[in-house]
Amino acid sequence: MADAGRVSFQDNHNTYNQTTQQDSRPAMAERKNSTPLMPAFMVSAPGKVIVYGEHAVVYGKAAIAAAISLRSYLLVHFLSKSRRTVSLRFPDISLDHTWCIDDLPWDIFATPGKKRSYYDLVTSLDPELIAALQPHLDVVSPDAPEHIRKIHQSSVTAFLYLFLSLGTTSHPPCVYTLRSTIPIGAGLGSSASIAVCLSTALLIQIRALSGPHNDQPAAESALQIERINRWAFVAEMCIHGNPSGVDNTVASGGKAVLFQRIDYTKPPIVLRLNKFPELPLLLVNTRQSRSTAVEVAKVGKLREKHPAIAAHILDAINDITATAHELISSEDFDEKDPTTLKTLGELASVNHGLLVALGVSHPKLERIRALIDHAGIGWTKLTGAGGGGCAITLLRPDATIESEHSPISPSFSSDQDYTNSQPISPAAPSNSNSNTNGLITPPVKKSHKRTFSRNPILKSLETKLANEGFEQFETTLAGDGVGVLMPAVLMNGSGEEGGEEIDQGKFLRAEGSEGIEALVGVGVGALGGLREAGGGGRGGWGFWRY
């Protein structure tokens, strides 16, 4: 825990210190009261998809989940010492609330037996602590519709529970501003991504984390990820009640995990898959709302009516997961071998067929699969509960190949920086569902330099999907987990010192997913926004890797 009179933190190059002890000179005292205690910093964490094993995992089978390069971003901006307030801003869901730090229920959170240390393992929420938060939840978004207010209050519960568990009354005044490029409510782990961002930021502020830096030992990096993940799970409990833990585990550590819960009275088996390859992925959101509970119930009814058939289907899904795990874990595994991607893709396609047999697909998912299969660009399956939500496609190696062409055509410039996760669909037709993330289509960029056009088959597919109201993202599978930008200054793309300082105004003005990624995105990618496997990101961002 930091000394009461001194706050410090480190990035890869500098140590920042701010003495808060009172000075006898009035001018100095006034300056201290008007100057933020620390420079702003940012945290980012990825969303996730289920690659293999949906629904079978409910019945004790294994599943594989992997990070995607759609991410949430948290900006922590410090206020002057005299402000004594803390604010949570999440414009994507219209949440904006400020509390007086001194009015929060610190006493009960500090009670012996209830006070937690940053290294503690918390597996359940304390009902008395939740009750103590209630007056501070009741004042949040009082005029919002009930379903919106419920979302706001669950988010605030997670934030305040962590804030009071990890902090003290001397916590510096600050504003936590969240933006996300992850579609909300689409089964992509958006809440876990946000939970990881909040956990990381608060642990950084109490100096409970070291790094990240390039020469950090793997074991030390793993310890930091574990601390982040433990508190992110607490936030997930505040939001979901009884989460599996797989979403926050993927959002914390990135890459992929094998997850299995044989006995619900015991913790699940979570095995990190460090060798899971980073792969180009097309993610398509049907914009069709769905209920996980309803889809799980469908499978339950099938098991009751046709137990033997349902058992064979679930066993077959488990065999797919096991085959993928065996392939990735083998000593001679070569992620660059074309047959590797083909095998993983074929397994995904078969997995989808089995999910169709369980009755959890949807006409919109089947339409997406038909269009992509006709284009021949990859292997497609639904991801998550089904019944709507999203489909994922493992893209064939030639699907994203760019070809050089005349610079007078609309195009992407070869030397412009693009993130490794960007929306590619035009604005949805007026009769389609609204986009909760406010995604917009950027104007087509033109360049007078050497330029490239997209694969015409992929381009044609994108147009067809967009015309039918589907939201599309080209993203990367199994990339980095939580990252930190400290201070919140982006280095130039060339790696030179300097760059752009990120403040609240710039962050809030960024329009939609494209604007957020253009401003603060962690990846500077290859053409089309896909970062090469193992490649670097935008200068300044650091990641714990192990």
> How would DSSP label each residue in 150-209?
HHHHHHHHHHHHHHHHH--TTPPPEEEEEEE-SPTTSSS-HHHHHHHHHHHHHHHHTT--
Q: Are residues 196 and 343 in the same domain?
A: no
Based on the fold, state whether residues 224 and 290 are members of the same structural domain.
no
* 466-494 residue pLDDT tens: 999 999 998 999 999 999 999 998 765 55
User: Is residue 528's pLDDT more than 50?
Assistant: no
Number of domains, the chain: 2
Which of 212, 230, 260 is the last residue before a domain boundary?
Answer: 260
Residue 21 lies in a domain: no
**Cα(347)–Cα(172) distance, rounded to whole angstroms?**
51
Q: Is the pLDDT of residue 410 over 70?
A: no
pLDDT in tens, 200-248: 999 999 999 998 988 999 999 999 999 999 999 999 999 988 888 899 9
> Residues 254, 316: one domain?
no
Same domain flag for 345 and 211:
no
Q: Left, alpha or beta for 430 (phi > 0: left; psi -120 to 50: alpha)? A: alpha
> Which H helix or E strand runs over 19?
strand 15-19
Q: What is the pLDDT of residue 336?
A: 87
Are 84 and 224 found together in one domain? Answer: yes
SS3 state of residue 16: strand
As a whole number of angstroms, the distance between CA 160 and CA 151 comes to 14
Distance CA 318, CA 63 (A): 7
The pLDDT of 339-359, averaged and rounded, is 97
- The answer to whether residue 409 scores a pLDDT higher than 70 is no
CATH of the domain at 170: 3.30.230.10
Rounded CA-CA distance 450/407 in Å is: 6
- The pLDDT value recorded for residue 501 is 83
User: Residue 14 falls within a domain, yes or no?
Assistant: no
* pLDDT above 80 for 403: no
Q: What percent of the chain has pLDDT over 90?
A: 63
> CATH number for the domain including 474?
3.30.70.890
Stronger pLDDT, 448 or 211, i.e. the higher one: 211
Structure tokens of 37? 């205690």
Task: Indicate if 283 and 247 belong to the same structural domain.
Answer: no
**Structural domain includes residue 247:** yes
pLDDT, tens digit (0-9, with 9 covering 90-100), for 309-322: 999 999 999 999 99
Q: Domain check: are 90 and 219 in the same one? A: yes
CB 67 within 8 Å of CB 48: yes
Query: Does 36 or 137 have the greater pLDDT score?
Result: 137
Within this chain, do residues 250 and 286 fall inside the same structural domain, yes or no?
no
What percentage of residues in the chain have a pLDDT greater than 70?
78
Report the pLDDT averaged over residues 278-286.
95
Within this chain, do residues 300 and 248 fall inside the same structural domain, yes or no?
no
17 occurs within a structural domain: no
Q: Which domain holds residue 409?
A: 279-484+512-543
Annotated catalytic sites, by residue? 247
- The confidence band for 402, taking pLDDT boundaries of 50, 70 and 90, is low
Q: Based on the domain organization, do 305 and 244 belong to the same domain?
A: no
* Token representation of residue 475: 């993203």
202 and 339 in a single domain? The answer is no
In this predicted structure, the answer to whether residue 15 has a pLDDT above a threshold of 70 is: no
Return d(Cα 488, Cα 36) in angstroms, integer.
Answer: 14
Q: Does 306 reside within a domain?
A: yes
Residues 391 and 516 in one domain: yes
Place of tokens 């005349």: 406
Q: Is 203 among the domain residues?
A: yes
| Domain annotation covers residue 490 | no
Residue 6 in domain: no
Per DSSP, the residues of 51-80 read EE-TTGGGGT-EEEEEEEEEEEEEEEEEPB
